[in-house]
Structures are given as C-alpha cells and as structure tokens.
Chains A and B, each alone.
Chain A
Amino acid sequence: MTLALLPGTVSDASVDQAVSRLVVEFGQRLDQQVVVGVVRSCREDLSGTPADALPELVERLARYRLDPAGD
C-alpha cells in the first residue's frame, strides 16, 4: 500500500472523488480550500486502510468533520 506520502501531498482517486462530491454538498457554506484540507487530513488519518475501502471511508469521515451535527 502507498501510505508513505507526505502530509499535504496526498492526492489520489479517493481524495478527488470525495472533494468533488463534498464541494457540491458544502460549497454554499464552506470555501473549497477548506473542504480539500479536511478531505486530505481525513485521508491521512485513514492511512493504513485497505485501498478498496478508502474512498467510502474518507468521504464518510470528511462529511462527519465538515458537518459534525449531521443532518
């Protein structure tokens, strides 16, 4: 697994997908840079997670962090 990426440089499919969907969801309220930052840090926190499960978990965690109150 490619986990040895430096913080801030993480960029892979799981990040890109989550960013594009979450920007649509939260773009009204939050700056795109904030969304990207949160998604990236989620991706880092989830390093060690099997690649297959990563996109779903990154998006889920980022959504939770962006909107801890939930809908």
Chain B
Amino acid sequence: MGYVDVAGVRFTLPDGRVLLDDVSFRVGEGACAALVGENGAGKTTLLRIISGDLTPDGGSVARTGGLGVMRQFIGSVRDDTTVQRFLVDLAPPAVREAWDGVEAAELAMMEADDEPTQLAYASALGHWGDVGGYDVEVTWDTVTVAALGVPYDGCKYRELASLSGGEQKRLALECLLRGPDQVLLLDEPDNYLDVPGKRWLESRLIETRKTVLFVSHDRELLARVAGRVVTVEGGGAWVHGGDFASYPAARTARHERMADLRKRWDEEHERLIDLVRTLQQQAKNSPDMAARYHAMQTRLAKYEAAGPPPDRPPDQHVAMRLRGGRTGVRVIVAEQVELTGLMQPFDLDVDYGDRVAVLGSNGAGKSHFLRLLAGQDVAHTGDWRLGARVVPGFFAQTHAHPEWLDRTLVDLLWHGEPGRPGVDRGRAMATLRRYGLAAQGDQLFRSLSGGQQARFQVLLLELSGATLLLLDEPTDNLDVLSAESLEEALGAFDGTVMAVTHDRWFARTFDRFLVFGSDGRVYEAPEPVFDEARVQRTR
C-alpha cells in the first residue's frame, strides 16, 4: 500500500508565469482520487512533479509504495518504440535496470565471445532472475494476451506505433494494474479507449486496492470511479472529499464563498481608505486626531500587506467556429470499399449536411478509413470518391506533426500551409483568444498541454475552409467546456461531418451511426452501438 502527500508545491513556467502555487493535498492508502481542471491548468505538470520528472520551485512531495506512471501521450506514440521496450519502461526501476544490463551484455556477446563477456552475460541474467525478471515476463505475457490477444513472444518486437491508440492505452493499463507498483498516476487513461474498454477501466479502478490518482475529463468515468476530487484551478488546488455526483455543487459553493470573502475584503478595504481620508482632514486642525490618523494609516497598511483572499477563478471562454460551405449533395460515395485485412467490403453514401458517427471497437479500422477519405495512402480495394466542392479537413490527435513541434502558434498561423491561408498576427491572436490560447501564442507547439494542442488543431480546421470534417476522436484531451464548444461549433457547421468517437455523450449529437463490427462487418445502425452484445440507447 502507498500514499502521496503533496505539500506547498510551487511551480513557475519557463516564461515566468506561476502555474502552481501552494498546492497541497494527500491521496491516502487505497484511495482513488480524480485530478480535474481545465486544459492547461497544470494537471500533467503536477503529476510530473509527483513522479519526480520535474522539480518544484517550492514545497515537497512525500510518497511510499512503488510508483507506476501512465503518461497522457500514450496512445499517440509514433516513434520506433517496441512493445517490449514499452513494457520495460513501465516496470519498476530495478527491473528496468536489470533489463538494460541484460541487453547490454547481449550486445557485447555479439561483439566478443571471450570469457569475461560470457561471465558478464551470465551475471546479468542472474541479476535479471534476482529482481524477479522471470516473473515479470510471465506477467507481460498475461498483459499482452489481455490487451492484444497475443502472447508476449508474438508481439514483443512489434512497434508500438502499429497499435491503435486504444490498444496502446490498454497495454499500459493492464501492465500497471497487474504490476507491483502500489501507487498509480494515470494521466487521461480513458482517452482512445473504446466503450467496452472504458467500462473495463471503470471496473478495474473500482476493484483495485492500489492508490490511484487519475486525470480525466470523462464525466461518466469520474462519476463511477472517483472517491474524491482534486481540482487544479486558479493556480492552486483544492480537494472535494466526496464523489463526483456532489462535486459540481461543492465547486459552486466554494466559488461563491471565495467571491463572498473577496467582496467583504474589498468592502473593508474601502471603509479603511475612507476612514484614513476623513481622519486626514480632521488631523489638520487637531493634534489628537493626528495620532488617530497615523494609527489608521498603519492599520490600512497592515491590511493591504496581508493581501486580499484569492478571488474565484475566472470562467474560461472557448468559442470554436467552423464555417464550411455549400457542396454538392453527394459528399462521399463508396462502393465495395475494403481496407485490406481489416473489414469486409461495404457501400456508403453520405450526403451534404449529414452527421455521421463512426463507432466500433479499438483496432477495427475506423481511423484507417478516415485517413483514406482524407486522401492519405491506405491500402484498400473498391472505389470511393468525394462530391463537387467537397474539401476534406482531417483532424487526428494521434497523427504526429514533427514539423510543428518547434514553432510557435503565431508562426504556424502566419505561414499557413497548402489549403490554409496564412493570417497576420492580429487575426491570429484574435482567433487564439477565442480558443482560450491567447497566452500561448508565442509558445512552441511542443510545450502546449494535451488539450491545448487539441484545441489548436480544431482552430486550424476553422481556418482551412474545409467543407467535410473528418474527425478522429476529437473530444479526447479536451476539457468539458471545450468539448461542449466543439459540439456547438459542429452544430453550426455548414457542411458534412464524419467523426470516429468513443465518447458516449458526444456520439449522441450525431444522426447517423456507422458501426465497424468486431466480426469485420461494417453496417449502419439507427442508434449508437457501443459494444458487440447489445444496442444501447444513449441517455
């Protein structure tokens, strides 16, 4: 068993802004606590401070029990990491070290076969055994079978990038939940998971006796799992000791209390200033009053030095706008399309104005289909075409954009790209402001939080003039308010929308449902279908 104790943590960003100030909370043994807050509030930063990746400018973190960490960007890994390396990196430090020792010794054996090298290899293997490496390999086997349906030996050299986002997440979660670490930090573990996957995660988090601190924007998951809620907002953090059902009321009450305290402080401040002014006048003709005047001045100074209580955090504003434009009536016509090896051939007609949700389990080929329509190179048979004036705009958070990483947002907007005209700084800043990204204008893309990156990608769609939106899991990473804003923007969009989603609440806003069945059949359903066994009506 383990716990996490965060005390008085302060963290300043490279540009000098204070992101976190005096953050204190505790996650006790066996507790399952949610960490919530808007995009960019500092949740990931806080988890990185707890895990020791970042050093705070003040305060301290105490914890016991081994620590397992799942990062937000798992699911969009696009480098050449293998499944094996990924599992090794999720293992406790001693296992990781022993593994690296074995690998180094193996390499040395390829170079030289002399006695010291052989003995070093034998001793590395011995060390691997001592740290429980052979048991770990048995666990990995269970993990890959559970997550991917393949034994460890059958997939260890597979590149992680070849797994779908949901499969990557599932692999990490199986590994951490079955592993020895007693404290788990999970940064948006539910992103990219299909609905059965989300339900599985919910039940595992409820069952586990480990101590868990997890970030999520999914209200359904929060409602089912969180026993307490830590909120990062306004540069600080506060804890709601109850579950998520009672959280909104607690937060409102807290904000009202803060506003009230602040109002009282301001009123008292006004009163003291008035008193000082009055006494100053009276002091001119009375030495007695002069003494009272000075005393009152001191009192005011002390009051001001103590400072006002923090005001309630400002409401954030996000107003996404997607314009679109009139196209031909037939938008997508597909005949007997089959993505090689992923599904059986199917026909599809999508008309102007349709809102099509693409549903189905992880790894069914939904993302590949969207990429095909976006004009990317995807192996397939059968015919498909887009109608007149249909300009596809593609959005996928799992798509790596290495060319964006080291450029600022204003710069990316200024230069534009094929199909998206550049805009000047004034227009760029005005648009960024509507997306709650005004403060990030001169930041490098790589330094944005996960949700800020997602918002920026929607912003690029806005500027692109697309008339067919192809969205792959657009609400993942977005905070609740941004997801609502996206939903509104899609409602007002003049054009056609096709979105892959596992977000039960978002799916409800669509009017056609294309299901990629796990048996390889692609069919249309009158209602959202969230798992094989049954068809469910959304709330």
Chain A residues close to B by CB (< 8 Å): 1, 45-46, 48-50, 52-53, 57, 60-61, 64-65, 70
Please report the C-alpha to C-alpha distance between residue A45 and residue B123 in the assembled complex, in whole angstroms: 10
Please report the C-alpha to C-alpha distance between residue A57 and residue B126 in the assembled complex, in whole angstroms: 12
Contact B129 A50 (CB under 8 A): yes
Contact A64 B114 (CB under 8 A): yes
Interface 0/1 of B111-129, CB less than 8 Å to A: 0011100110111011011
Contact B113 A57 (CB under 8 A): no
Contact A61 B118 (CB under 8 A): yes
Contact B113 A53 (CB under 8 A): no
CB proximity to A under 8 Å, residues B385-401: none
Contact B125 A50 (CB under 8 A): yes
CB proximity to A under 8 Å, residues B87-132: 113-115, 118-119, 121-123, 125-126, 128-129
A65 to chain B, nearest CB (A): 7
Majority secondary structure, A binding face: helix
Contact B115 A65 (CB under 8 A): yes
A-B contacts, 22 of them at CB < 8 A, read A46-B122, A48-B123, A49-B122, A49-B126, A49-B129, A50-B125, A50-B126, A50-B128, A50-B129, A50-B134, A52-B134, A53-B125, A57-B118, A57-B122, A57-B125, A60-B113, A60-B118, A61-B119, A64-B114, A64-B115, A64-B118, A70-B113
A36 to chain B, nearest CB (A): 19
Choose among B113, B118, B122, B126 the residue with the greatest number of A CB atoms under 10 Å from its CB: B122
Please report the C-alpha to C-alpha distance between residue A50 and residue B102 in the assembled complex, in whole angstroms: 12
What is the chain B residue whose CB lies nearest that of A52?
Answer: B134
What is the chain B residue whose CB lies nearest that of A70?
Answer: B113
Interface 0/1 of B170-195, CB less than 8 Å to A: 00000000000000000000000000
Contact B114 A48 (CB under 8 A): no
Query: Among the listed A1, A49, A50, A64, which residue makes an inter-chain contact with B113, where contact means beta carbons less than 8 Å apart?
Result: A64
Chain B residues with CB below 8 A from A50, complex form: 125-126, 128-129, 134
Please report the C-alpha to C-alpha distance between residue A52 and residue B128 in the assembled complex, in whole angstroms: 12
Majority secondary structure, B binding face: helix
Chain B residues close to A by CB (< 8 Å): 113-115, 118-119, 121-123, 125-126, 128-129, 134
A44 to chain B, nearest CB (A): 12
What is the chain A residue whose CB lies nearest that of B117?
Answer: A64
Please report the C-alpha to C-alpha distance between residue A49 and residue B129 in the assembled complex, in whole angstroms: 8
What is the chain A residue whose CB lies nearest that of B129?
Answer: A50
Chain A residues with CB below 8 A from B114, complex form: 64
Chain A residues with CB below 8 A from B121, complex form: 57
A46 to chain B, nearest CB (A): 5
Chain B residues with CB below 8 A from A49, complex form: 122-123, 125-126, 129
Chain A residues with CB below 8 A from B129, complex form: 1, 49-50
What is the chain A residue whose CB lies nearest that of B128?
Answer: A50
What is the chain A residue whose CB lies nearest that of B134?
Answer: A50
Chain B residues with CB below 8 A from A70, complex form: 113
Chain B residues with CB below 8 A from A45, complex form: 119
Chain A residues with CB below 8 A from B134, complex form: 50, 52
Query: Among the listed B115, B118, B122, which residue makes an inter-chain contact with A48, where contact means beta carbons less than 8 Å apart?
Result: B122
Chain A residues with CB below 8 A from B125, complex form: 49-50, 53, 57
What is the chain B residue whose CB lies nearest that of A60?
Answer: B118
Contact A53 B122 (CB under 8 A): yes
Please report the C-alpha to C-alpha distance between residue A61 and residue B118 in the assembled complex, in whole angstroms: 7
User: Known contacts A46-B122, A61-B115; can you find 16 more A-B pairs with CB under 8 A?
Assistant: A45-B119, A48-B122, A48-B123, A49-B122, A49-B126, A49-B129, A50-B125, A50-B128, A50-B134, A53-B122, A57-B118, A57-B121, A57-B125, A60-B113, A61-B122, A64-B113
On whether A48 and B113 interact (CB within 8 A), knowing A57-B121, A64-B118, the answer reads no
A50 to chain B, nearest CB (A): 4
A57 to chain B, nearest CB (A): 5
* Shortest beta-carbon contacts, A-B, top 5: A48-B126, A50-B129, A49-B122, A46-B122, A61-B118
Chain A residues with CB below 8 A from B122, complex form: 46, 48-49, 53, 57, 61
B173 to chain A, nearest CB (A): 29
Please report the C-alpha to C-alpha distance between residue A61 and residue B129 in the assembled complex, in whole angstroms: 20
Chain A residues with CB below 8 A from B123, complex form: 48-49
Please report the C-alpha to C-alpha distance between residue A32 and residue B115 in the assembled complex, in whole angstroms: 22
Please report the C-alpha to C-alpha distance between residue A70 and residue B121 in the assembled complex, in whole angstroms: 19
Please report the C-alpha to C-alpha distance between residue A52 and residue B126 in the assembled complex, in whole angstroms: 11
What is the chain B residue whose CB lies nearest that of A53?
Answer: B125
A64 to chain B, nearest CB (A): 6
Chain B residues with CB below 8 A from A52, complex form: 134
Please report the C-alpha to C-alpha distance between residue A50 and residue B113 in the assembled complex, in whole angstroms: 20
Chain A residues with CB below 8 A from B119, complex form: 45-46, 61
Chain B residues with CB below 8 A from A48, complex form: 122-123, 126
